[in-house]
Amino acid sequence: MLKLSVSRIPELLAAIGGARALFLPARSGGQVNFTRWDTGVEYCGEALNTVKSAKDFFFPQSENLLTFQTQGKSISITPGGVPEEPFVIFGARPCDVRAMDILDMVFLSDPQDSFYKARRESGVVVAMACNAPEETCFCGSFGIDAADPPGDVAAWIVGDTLYWDAKTEKGEALTGELSALFSQADGGDLAALKTHKEEIASILERLPLSDLRPQSVGGSLLELFSSEKWGELSQACLGCGACTFVCPTCQCYDIQDFNTGHGVQRFRCWDSCMYSDFTMMAHGNPRTSRLERFRQRFMHKLVYFPENNGGQYSCVGCGRCVSKCPVSLNITKVIKAFGVKENVR
């Protein structure tokens, strides 16, 4: 365990960001979002979560897959480049870091997505424990400990001290480069950190969603699918898709062509199962109603994804959909609606 005075965080960021791209939560235009570090960009640690999650850095909102050139009946294809440039994400919260593991299950399962894989290999994640989990947080429901962050490096800010603990080879390599900045944590530090973790745990226990248990969702896939509850649950949904865009685990994408005037770019971009043309085909649409689209999103996160991925839910309880939905619909209401008491431990 290493430590650094909080007042020296700018030095730490300059040392990391001077050698490679560095992205960190910073305030701009009234929002906190991951921003590329440059002189003058300040780490904003008091905001719990960024508006957009960190998934952008591995699975960008839009990326070029290839470029076509056409001449008469001939076509040439130039595959898109994947950046080899190493980069660091500093200050991602435990929920966002766990979300990367969930995206790995999609993009790194056979056949691997080489665009995603290249970014995952060149990125180092410094995860920051949550000093003050908020009332929209329910990461604990998915087995995530906000006081004990996963990632290449785990970090904590306790009072005026930053604690730093490398967890992986990538994390150790980064730490090695920065060793001049750190000093070794002593017994007193470790005791302070332990107390800090206990404080976080006690906040987590008192959160309004702390008793939410996805395991309580009862019934078989077909029983849940055909439940009448979906009608009432989905009634207020506007189908805006905001929940899918702020979600750190939503991974649905679209592939489209754009004619630039000097070639056609084929790009991949985020898409949303909440949109009516998501499943539209020339011969019809299997999900014509809002109910069907709403049901798809939550069945995927709570039933289909776990069935395909050893019980792993496709949700990390980051609370973004809770705070961003314009009509206050979210996965917590779905879990509660389908919860069966006997299923709760």
Q: Which residues bind another protein (CB under 8 A)?
A: 21, 65-66, 68, 70, 73-77, 79-85, 87, 106-107, 111, 113-115, 118, 221-222, 225-226, 251-257, 259, 264, 266, 268, 271, 273, 278-283, 286-287, 292, 296, 299-300, 303-305, 307-308
Closest to another protein by CB, 55 vs 300, is 300
Closest to another protein by CB, 73 vs 341, is 73
- Shortest separation between residue 325's beta carbon and another protein, angstroms: 20
Closest to another protein by CB, 115 vs 163, is 115
CA geometry: angle 52, 58, 63, nearest 5 deg? 90
- Shortest separation between residue 257's beta carbon and another protein, angstroms: 5
- Shortest separation between residue 338's beta carbon and another protein, angstroms: 15
Record the tokens describing residue 178, joined without a space. 């920065």
Instruction: Establish whether the linkage from the previous residue to 86 is cis, with ω within 30° of 0.
Output: no
Q: Are 138 and 209 in contact (CB under 8 A)?
A: yes
> Which residue carries 């404080």 as its tokens?
199
Closest to another protein by CB, 110 vs 169, is 110
Q: Helix, strand, or coil here: 345?
A: coil
Q: Are 320 and 246 in contact (CB under 8 A)?
A: yes
CA distance 50 to 93: 9
Record the tokens describing residue 115, joined without a space. 């665009």
Closest to another protein by CB, 55 vs 196, is 55
CA distance 272 to 282: 19
Among 248, 263, 235, which residue's Cα sits nearest to residue 317?
248
Among 24, 17, 16, which residue's Cα sits nearest to residue 44?
24
Among 63, 68, 62, 60, which residue's Cα sits nearest to residue 260?
68
Q: Are 23 and 34 in contact (CB under 8 A)?
A: yes
- Shortest separation between residue 253's beta carbon and another protein, angstroms: 5
Closest to another protein by CB, 196 vs 300, is 300
Closest to another protein by CB, 182 vs 253, is 253
Closest to another protein by CB, 205 vs 307, is 307
CA distance 58 to 3: 29
Q: Which helix (H) or strand (E) holds 321?
A: helix 320-324
- Shortest separation between residue 211's beta carbon and another protein, angstroms: 28
- Shortest separation between residue 127's beta carbon and another protein, angstroms: 21
CA distance 256 to 175: 41
